[in-house]
Chains A and B, each alone.
Chain A
Amino acid sequence: MIIEVRNLVKRYKDVIALDHFNMQVEEGEILGLLGPNGSGKTTAINCMLSLLSFDKGEIKIFDKEMTPDAYDSKKDIGIIPQNVAVFHELNVQDNVDYFCGLYIRDKAKRKKLVDEAIAFVALDEYRKFKPGKLSGGLLRRLNIACGIAHKPKLIFMDEPTVAVDPQSRNAILEGIRRLNNEGATIVYTSHYMEEVEELCNRIIIMDKGKMIASGSKEELKANIMLKEKVEVEQVTISLRQIEEIKGIANVYDVSYHSHTLQVKFMEGKRNMLNLMDYFAQEDISYGKVYSQTPTLNDVFLEITGKQLRD
């Protein structure tokens, strides 16, 4: 086990940030910590990294208790914090070299690792640039290079794509996959469900400091009632018709706003066809029709009763 967190409780005065939080991470996983802002993702990571004190619980990393002076464990950990954490007085190369040097003493070895890290994030042509001269996306890449140059076995990535343009985001996600392919275990926090869905082998959904669900994206989706969501645009229907739609096989929820109808189905066959048949039978005209499988947002919504991005 790479990480084992048991019954972690963290309070900020009267606010419970982590409420008996549990988490296990296996070697080679990309674990996604998904939750809305304030759900406790960053607090959990900071506790695991021994930056924050906690009230109760146990944290083991690489099967050893994690403490501020657990240097044996720390040398194999990398962090990519949410905010860019580099020195603005140093150029790209010096920044990567400085942070790498906190882990690797051997100068020749370090030089090779620094070159590799800079190449990994494609910042070769910006080596002599100070952070102030880099765009937001390039800064994020420098932030990543500083966290991975020493080739850590475990990498914590705390919302590394916040405020990044789509092109840079894709480059970052691709880089994370490559790191994982090279053997790194990754803990990835985000409130972007699409990223987590795309990247992570296993997902922990957090809310109010608690783990409310965990598993692969398929497992999480399989455990909720929603199996198909049909949305019909530019449709006009009466209250009677809404009630009748609720009676169609497998339908468990119907909502109608601004001439848009949303129908949620449980597991079943011919769900959309049954709805279309009803429209034909009632001679209801309509615009575009979409059928969607559940997303992680639906998982979150069904468990907590609120949107992930609330």
Chain B
Amino acid sequence: MLHILKYRAKCMFMNRPLMFWTLLFPLILTTLFGAVLRHAYDLTTFETISIAMIDNTAYQKNTTLQKTLKSLRMEDTPMFKVQEVSTKKGKQLLQKGDVDAMITIGDETTILVKETGIKQTMTQNFFDEYTQNEHMAMQLLAAGSTPEQLMQTFTNTHDFIKTNNEENTNLSCIFFYTLLAMNALFGGYWAINSMYSLQANQSTTAARIAIAPTHKGLNLFIDLFLNIVFQMTILSIVFFYMYTILQVDFGNQLGFVVLAIFMGVLAGNGLGLLIGILLPQKDIGTKTGVLTSITMLGSFLAGMMMVQMKYLVQVHAPILAYINPVNMVTDALYSLYYYGVGERYYLNLFSLLIFSLLCYLICYRSLRKTRYQSLGVQ
């Protein structure tokens, strides 16, 4: 076993293309992100968001919202500067760029923006959360909760969010979280390589190994173990680089950050196995291309290229957020940073676990196979 372990580890370590894509590429990307984005979304330099609120009946009746909008502050800066106007005037203000967004309260709250940006995203985030809380309050009251209980619920929630938000105000960290998540998924390259080296229907080297009197399960176990160890080591290096050199803020629960990364590595490994097995006759370049495409698309949807994308996906196509492992890792790190260890963090970890298990289960039958119908590569 040690003999196989030694040489398989050596093969992985000497695999320059994979070492580049899994270690150097993320480090380069991290450095670039660090140079460009580290302070781009720092909320300590927050500027008040100017909004045009349509002064209709629904808004006039909603005094709670009016008070909330006036009371919200980021550090010492008011969060919103509200102009109560007619629809026509609101559109004019928006068109001229005098306001960042135009809000209409009604059965459905609509937010009209001229361009996308961090201010618009924060506005959208706020109104979504407000609408959700308002809806929850209605439901609790309908279910018989007393006003005191209701107050207690919202006070707790508010305090919790406030505590974390006061400490963690740098939105640029989302880019780095996405980068870490992408890197975790890149661990799938090792799994694709393992399938190529160990599935007799994929390469002659694998066929040669299959003929030897060594149990296939042992070879597979060693490779999968090495894949996870290798990718965790690589991610630790990238994480260490982000944390110490670039001083990316990961909050103060690093153990849970590592746990989220580990779950991401498991998912990446599972995805790599799946691609390796579902495309047995394709060359290794095609398979890595498929993994790269999936991971890059996942990273884009998780907000790596523009942070608003994560929000847009969650609002307009939530299913994509739930099946996107890059988003699951990003969101686990994000929720850890903003809200601490809680339901949302564990939900993401659980989703990653389910995703990984599904991948491994689909692969199980093929991995067990010892004789093949055809050996296309031979």
Q: A46-B375, A51-B200 are in contact. Are A74 and B211 (CB under 8 A)?
A: yes
Most buried by B among A84, A101, A103, A147: A101
Report Cα–Cα, A89/B197, bound state, in Å. 12
| Binding site secondary structure of chain A | loop
Report Cα–Cα, A240/B205, bound state, in Å. 61
Of A53, A71, A99, the residue contacting B208 (CB under 8 A) is A99
Please give the distance in Å from A114's CB to the nearest CB on chain B: 12
Residue numbers in A under 8 Å from B13 (CB-CB)? 89
Please give the distance in Å from B124's CB to the nearest CB on chain A: 50
* In the complex, residue of chain A having the shortest beta-carbon distance to the beta carbon of B15: A89
Report Cα–Cα, A51/B3, bound state, in Å. 24
Q: Decide if A53 touches B372 in the complex (CB within 8 Å).
A: yes
Of B10, B209, B214, B371, the residue contacting A94 (CB under 8 A) is B10
Report Cα–Cα, A42/B213, bound state, in Å. 21
- The B1-29 residues at the A interface (CB cut-off 8 A) are 3-4, 7, 10-15
Q: Decide if A83 touches B4 in the complex (CB within 8 Å).
A: no
A77 at the interface (CB under 8 A from B): yes
B62 at the interface (CB under 8 A from A): no
- The A60-95 residues at the B interface (CB cut-off 8 A) are 68-69, 71-72, 74-75, 77, 79, 81-87, 89-90, 94
* In the complex, residue of chain B having the shortest beta-carbon distance to the beta carbon of A54: B371
| In the complex, number of A-B residue pairs with CB atoms less than 8 Å apart | 93
- Interface size of B as a range: 20 to 34
- Interface size of A as a range: 35 or more
Q: A79-B211, A90-B11, A101-B3 are in contact. Are A85 and B371 (CB under 8 A)?
A: no
Q: A81-B204, A82-B378, A98-B7 are in contact. Are A53 and B373 (CB under 8 A)?
A: yes
Residue numbers in A under 8 Å from B14 (CB-CB)? 89-90
Q: Decide if A12 touches B374 in the complex (CB within 8 Å).
A: yes
B253 at the interface (CB under 8 A from A): no
Q: Mark B117-161, 1 if CB is under 8 A from A, else 0.
A: 000000000000000000000000000000000000000000000
Q: Decide if B11 touches A89 in the complex (CB within 8 Å).
A: yes
* In the complex, residue of chain A having the shortest beta-carbon distance to the beta carbon of B378: A42
Residue numbers in A under 8 Å from B378 (CB-CB)? 42, 46, 81-83
Q: A50-B370, A89-B10, A94-B7 are in contact. Are A81 and B207 (CB under 8 A)?
A: yes
Report Cα–Cα, A71/B214, bound state, in Å. 7
29 cross-chain CB contacts under 8 A: A12-B374, A46-B378, A51-B207, A51-B210, A51-B211, A51-B375, A52-B373, A52-B375, A53-B371, A68-B210, A69-B215, A69-B370, A74-B212, A75-B213, A79-B207, A81-B378, A82-B204, A85-B208, A87-B205, A89-B11, A89-B12, A94-B7, A97-B7, A98-B4, A101-B4, A102-B4, A102-B209, A146-B208, A147-B208
